[in-house]
Amino acid sequence: MTDEAATAEATEATTKTAPKRYDILAVSQNRAFNVVEQGMKSLINYMQATNLIRVYAEAVANEWAEVYSKVGPSAHELFVKGVYASDEAPFFEVAIRSGTRPCEVAYGPETPETCYFWIEIRGALYPELTGRMKNKLKEILVTRFDYYVRDHESLPPHAEVPPGEEPEDRKRRGRGGVAARVGTAVEEF
C-alpha cells in the first residue's frame, strides 16, 4: 500500500467514525429581550444543578458577560430522553451571553440582527433540543426563542474583556467610594 493510499484510507476511516456535529443558537424572538443578572444566574444554576453543564470559564465586562460550560453528567438530556448509550460527548461547549450592550446574532437570520441575550450549544451531536428542554428554557427565562442551526466547524475563541471595560465594584459605585451604612434605611408599613 502506498503512502497516499494509506493516508486516504485513514482520512476515510476518520470521516466515517467522527459523527456530524451542529451549532445551535437560541435567541429570544424579542431581540430587545435582556436577562437580568439574577435571571442568568438562575439559568446557569438550573443547568448545573440538573448536571447538564459544568461552568469552566467566563468573561465579565461592565456591560456584558459570557459564560462557558462543558458537558455535565446528564448533558444528553438536552437532546434525548432516557439512557444515553454513546461514548461521544453530546456537545463540546455551551456559551451564554447577556448584557446591556447589543451584539450581532452570529448566524441564522437572513439579515444582520442584534440581540442582548443568546445561548449557543457548540458541537452538538443533535440538531435540535428536546421539546421538554425548550419549554424549560421558556419557563425559566419567560421568553420564546428562535433556534438556528448550522454545521459545526470548530470552537470559536472565548470573548475577552477589553481594557477599560472591566466591571466596577458595585458595592462602592454611586456612593463616592464610601461603604454603605448598615441599618439606616427607614420603611413605613
pLDDT of residue 110: 85
pLDDT of residue 7: 43
Residue spans of the domains in the chain: they are 19-151
Rounded distance, CA 140 to CA 30, Å? Answer: 16
pLDDT of residue 183: 45
In this prediction the pTM is 0.79
Tell which residue, 94, 85, 96, 89, has the closest CA to residue 54: 94
Going by the DSSP 8-state scheme, the letter that residue 166 receives in this structure is S
pLDDT 10s per residue in the chain (189 long)? 555 554 445 445 445 578 899 999 999 999 999 888 888 899 999 999 999 999 999 999 999 999 999 999 999 999 988 888 888 999 999 999 999 999 999 898 888 899 999 999 999 999 999 999 999 999 999 999 999 999 999 999 999 999 988 887 655 555 555 544 444 444 554
The long-range contacts involving 174-179, CB below 8 angstroms and separated by at least 24 positions, are: none
- CATH class assigned to 19-151: alpha beta
Which residue is associated with the grid cell 428536546?
130
Alpha carbon separation from 34 to 9, 37, 54, 63, 140 (Å, rounded): 50, 9, 23, 12, 13
pLDDT of residue 14: 46
**By three-state DSSP, how is residue 150 classified?**
strand
